[in-house]
Amino acid sequence: MTFELQHTDPYSSARAGIITTDHGQIKTPIFMPVGTCGSVKGVHFSELREQVKAQIILGNTYHLYLRPGLDTLRKAGGLHKFNTWDRPILTDSGGFQVFSLTGIRKLREEGCEFRSHIDGSKHIFTPENVMDTERIIGADIMMALDECPPGESDYQYAKNSLGLTQRWLDRCIKRFNETEPLYGHRQTLFPIVQGCKYKDLRQDAAKHVVDRLGMLNDGGGASIGGLAVGEPTEVMYEMIEVVNEILPKDRPRYLMGVGTPQNILEAIERGVDMFDCVMPTRNGRNAMLFTYQGTMNLRNKKWEQDFSPIDPDGCDIDRLHTKAYLHHLFKAQELLALQIASIHNLAFYLRLVTDARQHIEQGDFTQWKRSVINDLGRRI
């Protein structure tokens, strides 16, 4: 993987670049649809390509490890061949999912023991076997195993957690450097910056990641984890600024699991390049649509006889169907409603970051962001 920084905004830390992988290029800033189990809920890959215009999607190590399982994925030739997505894929380490299994997991230096949410069977994730698992999945970009502490963690817990994450990172890098990709395309590893809401811990974490990036055999970028997990929004923005002052400018920066359209623009302004979140599809399945004018609840009666397009400036599906028709589908509990709304929201998120990139290139990102950000959070 390579990263070329192409443009920077003169009034902020916003930047535009290109990530190059063996499965294609990714223009940043970028939003990555979440394909937890090897698919993006309710959206076919042809729609991801043609309507959403996704350049990269995510897979989840925890879920793919449990189902369909590593034997199936290896025999299929990796996730790209298994699900027929021929563009880049990023996999998280499964750490967030495992540490969310409160009551059915045990954390120790070796790794994390957990029980499957599917059948209760017992498993363990270690830095070494997570690297092996992500090799078998075959993602272009792999995440290191980390602990994601709760947003309300006290200082001592956050410090101990960060120490564990850093020791695990060293073991991840060692295993990554000792092993080779399985399917003929290169893979790269992103360490994760943790440290909760504590400035000194975040600084220490970022410096540790910078040091370790030089030890990787192939490329590498940096992920910012443990935000949008309960802390105030202002704290999240402060931690992004703290971390990005230290992370190298010639590597991509990935803010994990964030967020709303406003969150994304604020983070782009602070120098973040990559985003993912389940919000577009999850909210879409609940009839909540994002637009530049604000959010719409398509179950509301006000849309019952609104025969205007879902979004006249959106993707083809937005212009083809009316608000009244989508309202009807939700009221009738038709599955097509979930599909149309998910496509719309994902296409809007990709349009948002594409527009952000264009304004970074033009040198007026800050002015444009200020002109749209308030309306993005408005309820229509």
With a CB cutoff of 8 Å and minimum separation 6, the contacts of 142 are 90, 91, 93, 131, 134, 135, 176, 187, 188, 189, 190
Summarize the annotated binding site for substrate as residue ranges.
Answer: 92-96, 146, 194, 226
The pLDDT value recorded for residue 66 is: 96
In the predicted model, is pLDDT for residue 320 greater than 80?
yes
C-alpha closest to that of 268 among 147, 153, 376, 165 = 376
Say if 300 falls within a structural domain: yes
Q: Are residue 42 and residue 127 in the same domain, yes or no? A: yes
Q: Give CA–CA dist 55/86, Å, rounded.
A: 10
Q: Cis peptide before 29, with omega less than 30 degrees from 0? A: yes
Which two structure tokens, joined as six digits, stand for 282? 């999850």
- Using one digit for the tens of pLDDT, what is the confidence trace for 291-318? 999 999 999 999 999 999 999 999 999 9
Residue 136 lies in a domain: yes
State pLDDT tens for residues 22-71.
999 999 999 999 999 999 999 999 999 999 999 999 999 999 999 999 99
What is the distance between the alpha carbons of residues 300 and 347, in angstroms, rounded to a whole number? Answer: 22
| Claim to verify: residue 148 and residue 34 sit in the same structural domain | yes
Which residues does the annotation place in the binding site?
A: 92-96, 146, 194, 226
Q: Are residues 104 and 62 part of one domain?
A: yes
Please indicate, yes or no, if residue 228 is contained in any of the structural domains.
Answer: yes
168 within 8 A of 129, measured Cβ to Cβ? no
Element (H, E) at 338: helix 335-362
Burial (Cβ within 10 Å: 0-12, 13-18, ≥19) of residue 65: buried
Q: Which one, of 91, 169, 177, 182, lies nearest residue 127 by Cα?
A: 169
pLDDT at position 338 is 98
Q: What is the CATH number of the domain that holds 147?
A: 3.20.20.105
- Is 253 in contact with 272 (CB distance < 8 Å)? yes
When divided into structural domains, the chain yields a total of 2
SS3 136: helix
**Sequence-separated (6 or more) residues with CB below 8 Å from residue 160:** none
d(CA 174, CA 131): 10
Question: Please, what is the end-to-end C-alpha distance for the chain in angstroms?
Answer: 42
Residues belonging to the active site: 92, 276
CA distances from 20 to 1, 124, 140, 141, 184 (A): 6, 33, 10, 11, 16
| Range in 162-166, 215-219, 332-336 the model is least confident about | 215-219
Q: Would you list the DSSP string of 343-375?
A: HHHHHHHHHHHHHHHHHHHHT-HHHHHHHHHHH
pLDDT of amino acid 103: 72
- Tell me the Cα Rg of the chain: 20
- Do residue 46 and residue 69 come from a single domain? yes
Kindly state whether residues 335 and 245 are assigned to the same domain.
no
Q: Residue 106 has what pLDDT?
A: 86
Is there a single domain that holds both residue 269 and residue 296? no
173 within some domain: yes
Tell me the residue range of the domain where 269 lies: 29-250+263-273
Could you tell me if residue 346 is inside a domain?
A: yes
The secondary structure of residue 218, as a DSSP letter, is S
The pLDDT of residue 212 is: 96
- Helical spans, DSSP H, in 77-126: 79-83, 95-99
Return the pLDDT at 105: 80
Domain check: are 336 and 268 in the same one?
A: no
Strands of the 122-125 sheet, one edge to the other: 105-107, 112-115, 122-125
Same domain, 164 and 292: no
243 in the same domain as 99? yes
Q: What angle do CA 148, 153, 159 make, to 5 degrees?
A: 75
pLDDT in tens, 94-151: 877 777 776 778 889 999 999 898 999 999 999 999 999 999 999 999 999 999 888 8
- Binned at pLDDT 50, 70 and 90, residue 230 comes out as confident
Residues 140 and 246 both lie in one domain: yes
Do residues 196 and 161 both lie within one domain? Answer: yes
- At 228, is the pLDDT very low, low, confident or very high (cuts 50, 70, 90)? confident
Mean pLDDT, residues 257-274: 97
Average pLDDT of the chain is 96
pLDDT tens-digit map of 158-191: 999 999 999 999 999 999 999 999 999 999 999 9
Structural domain includes residue 5: no
Task: Calculate mean pLDDT across residues 358-373.
Answer: 98
% of the chain beyond a pLDDT of 90: 91
- 16, part of any domain: no
Judgement on whether residues 49 and 166 belong to the same structural domain of the protein: yes
